[in-house]
Structure 1
Amino acid sequence: MNTVDALVQLSFQVQRILAEAGAEHDLSIVQLRLLGILRDRQPGMLELGQHLGLDKSSITGLVSRAEKRGLVERSPSPHDGRGVLVALTPAGRRLVEVGEAQINRRITELTKRLNATQRKQFTQLASVLVNT
């Protein structure tokens, strides 16, 4: 298998894990990504759209649906009178913690065939690729 095939196949496996974990909580992959971004920050709508690669109307709809479920909340930006920040609610944070634990278990299961040295090397190499 060449590098492209290996990465694509790995991507498919990771996407399957994410889709299954999301489905258990009635979340799409993009909703999972939204909650994952909000784990450690409170971005504005524009920044959120940039992270997710979504336009303004799509991000507004995504946030609105999560807000209706009680997972996120909007608040005025202290730095921009027209800006809105998005943050997890306590219910959203609990869901993130549960989902993160489930995904961690499944990804760990996927990588259990690697020894500790290989996992460290894989993490270093993957970090180079995602930070370019």
Structure 2
Amino acid sequence: MNNPRELLQILARQFGLLNKNCCEISGLDISLIHSHILYEIGRQNLPSMQKVAETLGVDITTFSRQIQSLIRMNLVKKSASPEDGRVYLLSLTTEGKFVAGSIEKMMNDYLDEVFSFMNEFEKDTVLRSIQLLNTSMQKSKMCCTPMG
């Protein structure tokens, strides 16, 4: 069996996780972290800034800078919670929904092509294995913290 770290390194490279930008949409260079933020805001219903930052494992200061950048790009809207004015809720603007949808389509097309080289059993095995790996990583005390 191959070295697990080597397999994950290759996977990260092939998935483009080392690239600074994930894509260009509507003339905007979208970074990988922006792509993840847009995905989470779209997936959750009016999430708080803290909730999305925690979901992504990003400290709130760094996350806040990323949100300001997305607001300047007119992709995200930040508004005070009606229940607690100290909490800010995030939503996608119309342009943000378009960009998030475009990224979603690009990723689905890419994954459809990748999986087209596998039969159904192989595809199911890979997806079950990734789910198992994700579950095990969530149980790890070392997960989602800077190595150092």
Instruction: Give the distance between the partners of 1:55 and 1:37, measured in 2 at CA.
Output: 15
Greater relative CO, 1 or 2 (CA 8 Å, sep 6+): 1
More helix by share: 1
Q: Is it true that 1:56 corresponds to 2:56 in the alignment?
A: no
Residue ranges of structure 2 left out of the alignment (5+ in a row) = 139-148
Matched with 2:4 is: 3
Matched with 2:22 is: 22
More strand by share: 2
> Residues 21 and 103 of structure 1 are in contact (CA less than 8 Å); yes or no, is this contact kept in structure 2?
no
* Match of residue 83, structure 2, among 79, 86, 90: 79
Equivalenced residue count is 131
Once the two structures are superposed, residues 102-127 of structure 1 have per-residue CA deviations (whole angstroms, 9 ceiling, x without a partner) of 11111222233221111112111111
Q: Is it true that 1:112 corresponds to 2:116 in the alignment?
A: yes
3-state secondary structure, aligned to 2:91: strand
Matched with 2:40 is: 37
Instruction: Give the distance between the partners of 2:118 and 2:19, measured in 1 at CA.
Output: 24
3-state secondary structure, aligned to 1:117: helix
Q: TM-score, normalised by structure 2?
A: 0.78
Residues 98 and 21 of structure 1: CA distance in aligned 2, closer, same or farther (over 3 Å): farther
Matched with 1:121 is: 125
> Residues 21 and 99 of structure 1 are in contact (CA less than 8 Å); yes or no, is this contact kept in structure 2?
no
3-state secondary structure, aligned to 1:92: helix
